[in-house]
Chain A
């Protein structure tokens, strides 16, 4: 298992050490250690069942919402272990935001309501509107919705809804943005616009994106991690490096097989 060499040089906001994750009795992921470099996009890739989504969901402790699911090991945000009982899960999730595979706008809230859903309810309306505009601009959605902020979110197209979810996550000003296959349910044009967005957002946030689309990983990410499930079905980190190096000179045979399309 390799870590990105530069990760040791700069202060990383988010790193994982010896993380194992379980769904009840079944182990999904074993002993993964990674560092996520700030102001860049890191892609987690691998075939279905390799545990990449599980790892992602451990980073903001959404993994344990499922009854019986738990994790062992460390996830360090700014040096603090998030599994330490001293850190509140709520605090963690505000510093580490998440965008899901299918856009999941809150059905009973308006567009504005969705974007401001994570903000403190005691904020005055003007302040909320200002922060919503900032988030929507960051998500490249402001111009399209500024005249219909009070319409239901279901009025938007699929790609717009996903950008709405991105804006919603950005509104709470996280340090890290997790994205779980954010474009897998979108058409090619929406996919491209989200990828562009990722590149822009990377200037301000550390982005971790799970993707099963290698070309997408090659397009958007600066660092890539390749994971694979072993014979017992437990996911492990095979290799992690700068994307350009992984795609041109992978160190591990299995990475090379995956990239050249021999499986997965």
Chain B
């Protein structure tokens, strides 16, 4: 095959360059346009579906919204029989169980993150971190199963009586202990959100701690003093964000909570009492709900969950974004 020299010495026209050049440029350009179209279509579909989700939830809960208005949020009657749907006992159960979860997971998780980030040598930190991550992978129905058959009896026979014996003067620890209830649900939720709180706190501590750690240690502070008085306080915004993220998880958790909370829509002072959460009631009653208003009320609970998780997660991510952005 003749190879021609590039058009020098006055030879006219672009030289023939062999088969490498014989491409259908128009077809390639068309294929490119199609590719870009497909990519944009996929993204458009994604955006559309997420938007549709919100719209659908609002649309389906509209009858209940119209019927009850904002009273829905503070009416304490959840009675399908009389078609009285007030979400207050459900909000109470959700809030209290989640509160227990974030208090426990917050303390344990942040300290665990401090250990993994600051104290633990690499050969411990890696497997230990991996184990905690694996905890996040456990399906919630398995958590519920374990909670129901292992943790609930434990609460009923050991932990409950112990708390009642020592702290029984507090109303939250009074009353009959059946094993299922707010406390057990809170404990299970705490375990479920522990990996989130730990992992994110650890990232924050690692990102923020480096300069401060060295400065503090070089001033003669002990490891603990460095962590407790310098690194953790400096990371507190990010840690708060991690805990809020965990809260978001806890609020929406359905199956594990349903299995250990007792499913009774009542507001009681005791943590041993059975309760009900927003997500649990949807799970338990949706398929048997008769009547459009009943269904609509349940969907409105779903909408409430959506909005709350949106706000909580949004706040958490904002906090974390602020903190991590400065470090990048």
List CB contacts (< 8 Å) of B198-256 with chain A.
Answer: none
B236 vs chain A, min Cβ distance (A) = 37
List CB contacts (< 8 Å) of B1-43 with chain A.
Answer: 3, 5-15, 17-23, 25, 28-29
**Measured CA separation A204–B17 after assembly (Å):** 12
> Across the interface, do A94 and B21 meet the contact criterion of CB distance under 8 Å?
yes
B9 contacts across to A, CB distance below 8 A: 10-11
Asked if A200 lies at the interface with its beta carbon under 8 angstroms from chain B, I say no
Could you say which of A10, A78, A91, A123 contacts B25, with CB atoms under 8 Å apart?
A91
Asked if A13 lies at the interface with its beta carbon under 8 angstroms from chain B, I say yes
Asked if A38 lies at the interface with its beta carbon under 8 angstroms from chain B, I say yes
Question: Chain B interface: which size bin?
Answer: 20 to 34
A82 vs chain B, min Cβ distance (A) = 13
Asked if A188 lies at the interface with its beta carbon under 8 angstroms from chain B, I say no
Chain A minimum-CB-distance residue to B24: A120
B22 vs chain A, min Cβ distance (A) = 7
- A75-97 vs B, Cβ < 8 Å mask (1 yes, 0 no): 00010000000001011001100
> Across the interface, do B6 and A120 meet the contact criterion of CB distance under 8 Å?
no
Interface size on A, residues (CB 8 A): 27
Segment at the interface with B among A152-160, A169-177, A240-248: A169-177
> Across the interface, do B25 and A90 meet the contact criterion of CB distance under 8 Å?
yes
**Measured CA separation A39–B7 after assembly (Å):** 10
> Across the interface, do B6 and A13 meet the contact criterion of CB distance under 8 Å?
yes
A30 contacts across to B, CB distance below 8 A: none
Chain A minimum-CB-distance residue to B14: A78
B254 vs chain A, min Cβ distance (A) = 42
A37 contacts across to B, CB distance below 8 A: 8
> Across the interface, do A90 and B28 meet the contact criterion of CB distance under 8 Å?
yes
| Given A91-B25, A120-B19, A175-B17, residue A10 in contact with residue B6 (CB < 8 A) | no
Could you say which of A119, A172, A175 contacts B15, with CB atoms under 8 Å apart?
A175
B26 vs chain A, min Cβ distance (A) = 8
Asked if A226 lies at the interface with its beta carbon under 8 angstroms from chain B, I say no
Asked if A206 lies at the interface with its beta carbon under 8 angstroms from chain B, I say yes
List CB contacts (< 8 Å) of A71-118 with chain B.
Answer: 78, 88, 90-91, 94-95, 118
Name, among B5, B7, B17, the residue most crowded by chain A CB atoms within 10 Å (CB to CB). B7
> Across the interface, do B19 and A127 meet the contact criterion of CB distance under 8 Å?
yes
A78 contacts across to B, CB distance below 8 A: 7, 13-14
List CB contacts (< 8 Å) of A163-200 with chain B.
Answer: 171-176
- A33-58 vs B, Cβ < 8 Å mask (1 yes, 0 no): 00001110000000000000000000
**Measured CA separation A64–B271 after assembly (Å):** 64
Could you say which of A11, A172, A205 contacts B11, with CB atoms under 8 Å apart?
A11
B35 vs chain A, min Cβ distance (A) = 13
A49 vs chain B, min Cβ distance (A) = 25
Could you say which of B3, B20, B28 contacts A204, with CB atoms under 8 Å apart?
B3
Seed contacts A10-B8, A11-B8, A94-B21; 20 additional CB < 8 Å A-B pairs: A11-B7, A11-B11, A39-B5, A39-B8, A88-B25, A90-B25, A94-B20, A118-B20, A119-B20, A120-B20, A131-B20, A171-B20, A172-B20, A173-B17, A173-B18, A173-B21, A174-B17, A175-B15, A204-B3, A204-B6
Q: List 10 A-B contacts (CB under 8 A).
A: A11-B8, A11-B11, A13-B6, A39-B5, A120-B22, A173-B20, A174-B17, A204-B3, A204-B5, A204-B6
